[in-house]
Structure 1
Amino acid sequence: MPTFKGNNVTLQGNPVKVGDQAPDFTALTTSLDEVTLAAYPGKKLISVIPSIDTGVCDAQTRAFNEKASSLGGTVLTVSNDLPFAQRRWCSAAGIDNVVTLSDHRDLSFAKSFGVLIEELRLLARSVFVVDSNGTVQYVQYMDEMTDEVDFDSALAAFAAAN
């Protein structure tokens, strides 16, 4: 069972696995534009975080901004943070290679990818790699939400995706 700071949590939604077609979702950009997965053609690394304003989420977003952007494709960071908070954080952090998306409005991403922490209404830390055909090539759901993801495995899967 997944945990958040050692406490059991319940994940809601439909978990995806390698080989699945990536489910569609609707989220908001930092400009409040509504987008779907189709707005980002080509391969995608989707980094999912509980909140951009925490140390582990900050580190995860910065690492993927720095390391994944040179691998082609699009790097998305999805959280339930308000778009305004995401824009403020990206501006202050100098993040320009990652697209931040907010799922706060209707939890479309969370439900589609099985990452909604029921008790907290936050997204569970996870990483997905989707190839240009929309097939999920890599999935990492964290057992403990405050732990760091396996960056090397995620980046290797992203580099290998077409």
Structure 2
Amino acid sequence: MKVTFQGNPITLKGTQVKVGDTAPDFTVVDNDLNPLKLSDTKGKRVFLTVPSIDTSVCDTEVRRFNQEATKLGEDVTIYTISMDLPFAQGRWCGGAGIDRVKTVSDYKDREFGNNYGVYINELGLLSR
């Protein structure tokens, strides 16, 4: 798949997950700097997104996920994964009133980005 950023080609590291693949495990960091693995969420329905909360589109996206999460019940957990630092994620959630979406960061080990083939090598960010 050809991916570009501002019209320029970029390189995605890792192997992209395809429909039917088993979701690879990964470790990310929560807002308290604690590790969280996908395998820790076993038995729960989990939706993963990869926005950067520091952009208007992603801000809108996470706010909408938070709103929709209230309709899904307590057995559904939505995690938003980005390269944003956990401190920034926590500060943004508090300011935006985000209480149903859990923000986690891939900044430290980049396992999510690499395991899902969405880590942008040239920018150190995650693609959508």
**TM-score, L = length of structure 2:** 0.91
Mapping for residues 95-110 of structure 1, pairs under 5 Å: 95-110=98-113
Find the counterpart in structure 2 of residue 122 from structure 1.
125
- Whether 1:14 and 2:15 are equivalent positions in the alignment is yes
Q: 1:13 & 1:30 partners in 2: Cα distance?
A: 25
Task: Choose from 72, 80, 83 the match for 1:80.
Answer: 83
Find the counterpart in structure 1 of residue 27 from structure 2.
26
Task: Choose from 44, 48, 51 the match for 2:50.
Answer: 48
Q: 1:69 & 1:107 partners in 2: Cα distance?
A: 30
Q: How many equivalent pairs are there?
A: 124
Structure 2 unaligned regions, length at least 5: none
The alpha-carbon deviation at position 39 of structure 1 amounts to 2.1
Residues 116-153 of structure 1, C-alpha deviation per residue, up to 9 Å, x if partnerless?
0111000011xxxxxxxxxxxxxxxxxxxxxxxxxxxx
Q: 2:10 & 2:60 partners in 1: Cα distance?
A: 23
SS in structure 1 opposite 2:61? helix
Q: 1:40 & 1:12 partners in 2: Cα distance?
A: 25
The alpha-carbon deviation at position 11 of structure 1 amounts to 0.9
* Contact 1:75–1:98 (8 Å) recurs in 2: yes
RMSD across aligned C-alpha pairs, in angstroms?
Answer: 1.2
Q: 1:67 & 1:6 partners in 2: Cα distance?
A: 33
Residues 70-119 of structure 1, C-alpha deviation per residue, up to 9 Å, x if partnerless?
22411110001110000000000000110111000010110111110111
Query: Identity across aligned pairs (percent)?
Result: 51
Find the counterpart in structure 1 of residue 64 from structure 2.
63
Residues 40-61 of structure 1, C-alpha deviation per residue, up to 9 Å, x if partnerless?
2311110111x21111111111
Structure 1 unaligned regions, length at least 5: 126-162
SS in structure 2 opposite 1:95? coil
